[in-house]
Structure 1
Amino acid sequence: MSEYLETPAGRRIAYQRSIGRGPGVVFLGGFKSDMTGTKAAWLHDWARERGRGFLRFDYSGHGDSSGSFEEGSIGDWSQDARHVIETLTDGPQVLAGSSMGGWIALLVARALPQRVAGLVTIAAAPDFTEQGFWAGFDETQRQALTTAGRVALPSDYSDQPYVITRRLIEDGRDHLVMNQPLPLPFPVRMLQGTADADVPVDWAMRLLDHATGGDIRLTLVKGADHRFSSPECLRLIAQSIDDVLA
């Protein structure tokens, strides 16, 4: 059963957690995904079996949390993540960020480095509003975004299109991480599938090259797609968390 936490901004965030030994693990989901997804649920069970603290939650506008998805932004969702981590966990945590959650995890790590014991990213998509959406828009779409404030894109994961707003793009530019130093002074394990149609392998290579730290590794999985949810991929995520904890 989900519990709820009110943020200082008045957003009601749904979450589920297991109390256990630390450092705990916090799962940060992707764009328009929620905490009932395969990776979040599997990792929650995995952590519970080991007596490890675990926390998963829905950003505002996602899942069971309050708000409209179309009104949200990277800044809002990173604020949600920070408040959840600061309020519901104690001490350093291992952040496991999937897709957009990888970007959110990097923003949390930049803001709260003392609360991060390690980082595991799965198909991390830092700055995707700029290097993915905006860079991929044609002139008609950019014009629609400027004049109408939104543009609809087809989704491979839902019958409903993604509505991309001007606020999402403009706010994303205020939270970029690839245009400035990115120190990660804790163990980092990056996971990336070579068959990912949403996040190119090149993004993972650029993130590896851009970040600085003494213990950063990238693992490429041949044939794995963006979901990264096969039994083998799930076990690799867990092994990466164990590696960071060790």
Structure 2
Amino acid sequence: MDDAIRYLTRPDGARLAWRAIKGAGPTVVWLGGFRSEMAATKADALAAWAKAAGHGFLRFDYFGHGVSDGDFRAGTISRWRDDALALLDELVEGPAVLCGSSMGGWLACLAAIARPERVKAMVLIAPAADFTEKLMGPELSDEARAALAADGVWMRPSAYGDPYPITQALFDDGARWSILPGPVPIEVPVRVLQGGADPDVPWTHALELANELKSPDVVFTLIKDGDHRLSRPQDIARLIAAVEELVA
């Protein structure tokens, strides 16, 4: 495949945008973060690596993200998990290496639990497992809680751009998919890359996930001065090295 944007139509008619590179070995599947999109820095870097190395690579936009259909406010962990499983089931032949960033790390875990026979290994970048309940929820102000109770939605300020909507439905649904405390029934090799200066996912939270994975082959890399995005050249090099190790 030539990495052009294509669409997969879901049962409700919503179209999910995806791009793929055909290549040898297990397919690397990129699962982006909350409000991210498949044209982001790390995904682009992995696509360039896949082209050069001759490996298969798939990336996509969740419902309500990027160029996929849907209203972001209507998105939930259930919906985005189903998106990931649909792409894995319909577009990936053979084993996959799941590469998840932030929320994508949580969704990668949920996909691996649902399809253990399909997933060969995982790379998790600042994995935000249970972020609705364990990271975002405890930080809600009285004003935010009042808005959620009254309107079902709160406009959350962002250090990365304009405020964005957080719904009560997202919190309610996220609690259904909690995986911490574990054990987390994932037994494949896992590499975790985590920034020590991450303001969104504390390194202790990512380490808890790493410790709760049942796999004996888990390597946790703390990048002491790394932020949440881990998109600097040296961070990208670590990401590609981790993926290369696991597709070998």
Q: TM-score range by the shorter chain?
A: over 0.9
Q: Which residue in the other structure is 1:2 paired with?
A: 5
C-alpha displacement of 1:9:
3.5
Instruction: Give the TM-score of the pair, scaled to structure 1.
Output: 0.97
Deviates more, 1:200-209 or 1:51-60: 200-209
State the superposition RMSD in angstroms. Answer: 1.1
Deviates more, 1:208-217 or 1:115-124: 208-217
Q: Which residue in the other structure is 1:211 paired with?
A: 213
For 2:106, give the aligned amino acid: W
C-alpha displacement of 1:112:
0.4
Q: Which residue in the other structure is 1:201 paired with?
A: 203
Q: Which residue in the other structure is 2:187 paired with?
A: 185
Greater than 4 Å deviation, 4+ residue runs: none
| Counterpart mapping for 1:98-109 below 5 A | 98-109=101-112
Contact (CA 8 Å) 2:100, 2:108: kept in 1 or not? yes
C-alpha displacement of 1:152:
1.0
Residue number among 115, 119, 139 corresponding to 2:118 in the alignment: 115
**CA offsets 1:169-227 (integer angstroms, 9 cap, x no match):** 00101111114431221110000011111111111111122211120110011211111
Residue number among 148, 155, 166 corresponding to 2:158 in the alignment: 155
Instruction: Give the TM-score of the pair, scaled to structure 2.
Output: 0.96
**CA distance 1:180–1:209, shift in 2 (3 Å):** closer
| Counterpart mapping for 1:27-42 below 5 A | 27-42=30-45
Q: Unpaired segments of 5 or more residues in structure 2? A: none
C-alpha displacement of 1:78:
0.7
Residue number among 13, 17, 41 corresponding to 2:16 in the alignment: 13
Alpha-carbon separation, structure 2, partners of 1:228 and 1:180: 26
**CA offsets 1:69-121 (integer angstroms, 9 cap, x no match):** 11101110010010011101111100000000000000000100111010000
Deviates more, 1:186-195 or 1:236-245: 236-245
Q: Which residue in the other structure is 1:62 paired with?
A: 65
Alpha-carbon separation, structure 2, partners of 1:137 and 1:84: 33
For 1:176, give the aligned amino acid: S
Alpha-carbon separation, structure 2, partners of 1:146 and 1:180: 30
Contact (CA 8 Å) 2:181, 2:212: kept in 1 or not? no
Contact (CA 8 Å) 2:187, 2:213: kept in 1 or not? no
Q: Which residue in the other structure is 2:234 paired with?
A: 232
1:46 corresponds to 2:49: yes
Residue number among 168, 171, 184 corresponding to 1:169 in the alignment: 171
Alpha-carbon separation, structure 2, partners of 1:227 and 1:72: 22
Aligned residues: 245
1:24 corresponds to 2:27: yes
1:91 corresponds to 2:91: no
**What secondary structure is seen at the aligned counterpart in 2 of 1:212?**
coil
Alpha-carbon separation, structure 2, partners of 1:12 and 1:223: 39
**What secondary structure is seen at the aligned counterpart in 2 of 1:182?**
coil
Q: Unpaired segments of 5 or more residues in structure 1? A: none
